[in-house]
A and B are shown apart, each in its own frame.
Chain A
């Protein structure tokens, strides 16, 4: 079946470091791709999305580019802050429903 795979965490970075969280998806058609963030004690919030190949989603300094050739949608941020500490989920939309990766815990130290 369809699946999304993300790099395992936790990822621990110092403030202002560069962040990459890898995400790949199964290539059944051309799903829309999403990154969601879950802060401690809160629900899932949409961070960014891309709906077709080569689209770049961006929000709050985070970016991800829809790469059809590598079936990837890696999340990047040039300079992380302590407030970015959260769990990040990559998701793909297949048939009007979301399939999620397992999530990656990000911890940013000051």
Chain B
């Protein structure tokens, strides 16, 4: 089974520029997550989708971050404008369902550096 695909792998941008990340989850996984992992910290949930609907975006900085999951498959996460503190690894994960039964599969992440 193919894993969770993310691109690009690395991105360097200047502050105030915009950037977009792409995620393709495991086929058939209804739930998709975006996490932000700042260096030296654990991943923090930004947004959770169930099919193409948002379940939880309470920790998404909506003034600059946006995400969508059209057709309930691929997802994009956008930052506009970027700040220095947005430098982090952005992880995408997918799951068949919750309650620990099916588990979560993570992509390799996109490492963003804002200079």
Q: Which residues of A contact B91 (CB under 8 A)?
A: 43-44
Question: Is the CB–CB distance between B108 and A51 below 8 Å?
Answer: no
Q: Which residues of B contact A34 (CB under 8 A)?
A: 100
Q: Which residues of A contact B61 (CB under 8 A)?
A: none
Interface residue count on the A side (C-beta < 8 Å): 25
Cα distance A44–B98 when bound, in Å? 18
Asked if A98 meets B45 with Cβ closer than 8 Å, knowing A42-B108, A44-B106, A49-B100, the reply is yes
Interface residues of A in 84-109 (CB under 8 A from B): 89, 91, 93, 95-103
Interface residues of A in 26-41 (CB under 8 A from B): 31-34, 36
Interface residues of B in 4-48 (CB under 8 A from A): 31, 33, 40-45, 48
Task: Check if B107 is an interface residue, CB within 8 A of chain A.
Answer: yes
Interface residue count on the B side (C-beta < 8 Å): 25
Interface residues of A in 16-60 (CB under 8 A from B): 31-34, 36, 42-46, 49, 51
The minimal Cβ–Cβ distance linking A53 to chain B, given in whole angstroms, is 13
Interface residues of B (CB under 8 A from A): 31, 33, 40-45, 48, 55-56, 91, 93, 95, 97-101, 103-104, 106-109
What would 12 more interface pairs be, CB under 8 Å, given A43-B91, A46-B103, A96-B95? A44-B106, A46-B104, A49-B100, A51-B100, A51-B101, A91-B42, A96-B31, A96-B48, A97-B33, A97-B45, A97-B98, A98-B93
